[in-house]
Chains A and B, each alone.
Chain A
Amino acid sequence: MALTLSIETDQSLELEDYTELVDRELDRDDFDSLVESAVLLKKLANNRRILIEHVNQRLCDHRNSSAKDVGDTSFCLAQRKQIRVRANVWVPPTEMPMSRKWQANIAAYLTPHDHSFSFVTVGYLGTGYETTIFEYDRSRTAGKCGETVSLQFLEKTRLTQGKVMVYRANKDVHFQAHPQEFSISLNLVVFPREFRDQYFFDINRSIITGRAMEFRGMQSLMCTLAGALGDGRTVNVLEKVARRNCDEEVRVSAFTAWARLDPGHAAQIWKMALEDAHESVRTRASAELGTLV
């Protein structure tokens, strides 16, 4: 389960020393190594001046804020290779100025979700947010919207000041409640080497309701556009995508757009799709061929 670590230390670290130690000691592919590194984040959180330089810099140079910062609720403190150190700010709705755009962020953290990366987090300031945690077995999940997933309840807890937790990539599912007071958490995020999906869940119905970072949907939309606007040259491009794109959902979209653009050869196109390596493409091809008969 997501781990709550009991770490007692009075030592503190400067940000540069912390990132250097993480660089040197963390094995990015080893979850246990991430857990072992948690004591370093705790020491970083013991440094109560850690944010001052960053905040001052932002106040001085707010016109050039870092693109790495997430929306208007987070500071990116450091980034090395595939790790990132962040300070996330949690503001109770009652203290939130109406002028803030961050309502979108609220909707996101209230919605049950997993993460495509593992991370260690420590409560830095305030009583923090309450979080309800479940787990699921990613290896038994196809990742389709509406798919039923077995979600096991683990715990309801709060990321209070000084508490250290570690979340497992694509295993832990959680949603947060609004913080009761202004709070800050520090995170060490370890991005995976390969792209992984992040899902949103409906806990009551035990289903996947959506995927974040929908590159498939965006590529499929491009296929739709190509199917609507395309000409002879576009047919060649769609054929390449239908045959060679590594994602089966995008290939289905490409076959669909290709058949739309070249209706005289639709039967041949869908017969080609019957040779696709993925079952979902072949199933769709059979269905399309059925309608053409």
Chain B
Amino acid sequence: MQPTTQEPPLEVHAGFTRAIDLPAFKEFASQLSDLLGDSHENFWKCRNALACLSRSRAALGYIESELLNGLQSTCYFPKFTLIERDLFSLRLLIVLPRSAARVIHSMVEHQMLAVIDGSAQLQRFERADRGAHDVFNAQKRIFSSGVSTLVAGDVAELWADRECYELSTPTNAFLFQLRSRPLYRLQWVYDAATLTPKRIYASHAEDMQAELAILTARNLGFSDCVPNVRRLLDHPNHVIRRAALHTLVALDPENREVYLRVAANDPHPDVQQAALDPVPPSKGCEPWH
């Protein structure tokens, strides 16, 4: 069994004060809702609000609140995600001295980093080729675009997809990390030593769940699922479209030619390739006892 399934007793988190209950964060969330409106394009307008928050006592008030929460339970898990809204999220980031990362991840959302205390080295990287975000290409390296030192009160702006970054510090540094809503569905992983792409993966939890359901339907031979899998042929994530096509060819072979035409007309090369892939047969769901 996978060990990640362990969970605390269910009642652990009941009735504790959360960041959003604290006046400073309530006001910050309200300010951002006004600034962002319905558009993530306004994300950069939140810079001053974030800078003010990082210079205030808000982080400390939250930490104190979490420490007091810890007195109410034998196994309290402090939260480092302070606010989660549709258009943004705010996290408390702790940077500790450690060895260099082995991989660098692209960002699926815009980010702003605001230093609360300490200082951190911000190493920025940029994509050399700003071609299609969702087509993996091992040649699309990132390159270093500079190092800067962030100190208390500083705010750094980082653009989704275009940039990646690494933080390091000789001592501890504490930051707020403000994220826009996710703007991309796929995250790139780069080798930190060579700066070359290693792979891309679906970063949306719901996309991963959908793909798991598609794989399961195919392997169990659930032809009843065909209508629902068909609906995923116009999913915005090509990974889901490709998995859906494989499954439809396996579960609904009578319409194989239709699905292959859909694959051939898909804008994404990986999905076009799906028309040529051999599809593993389903194991079926017949009784086995």
CB within 8 Å of B: which residues of A? 9-10, 46, 48-49, 51-52, 55-56, 58-60, 62-65, 69-75, 82, 86-89, 91, 95, 97-102, 104-105, 108-109, 111, 113, 115-117, 119, 121, 125-126, 161-162, 167, 176, 181-182, 184-185, 187, 189, 191-195, 198, 200, 212-213, 215, 218-219, 221-226, 228-231, 233-234, 237-238, 240-241, 244-247, 250, 254
Contacts and interface: CB of A to CB of B under 8 A. Distances in A.
B114 interface: no
Given A69-B209, A195-B9, A218-B78, A88 B60 contact: no
Contacts of A74: 2, 5
B234 interface: no
Interface stretch (B24-32, B42-50, B158-166, B214-222): B214-222
Contact of B239 (A62, A97, A182, A191): A97
B203 interface: yes
A228 B117 contact: yes
A191 B7 contact: yes
Interface string B228-256: 11011000000100010000000000000
A195 B12 contact: yes
Given A58-B213, A222-B70, A247-B74, A115 B228 contact: no
Contacts of A244: 71
A117 B6 CA distance: 8
Nearest to B218: A182
A56 B213 CA distance: 8
A107 B70 CA distance: 30
Given A73-B212, A244-B71, 8 more contacts: A49-B285, A52-B220, A58-B212, A97-B243, A105-B4, A184-B216, A191-B9, A240-B68
A49 B232 CA distance: 22
Contacts, number: 233
26 contacts: A48-B220, A51-B216, A55-B213, A56-B224, A58-B209, A59-B210, A63-B206, A70-B4, A75-B212, A97-B211, A97-B243, A98-B136, A101-B201, A108-B4, A113-B3, A126-B219, A189-B5, A195-B9, A212-B6, A224-B172, A225-B174, A226-B63, A226-B67, A229-B174, A234-B60, A238-B67
Given A59-B225, A59-B228, A121-B1, A241 B203 contact: no
How many chain B residues sit at the interface, stated as a range, is: 35 or more
A193 B289 CA distance: 36
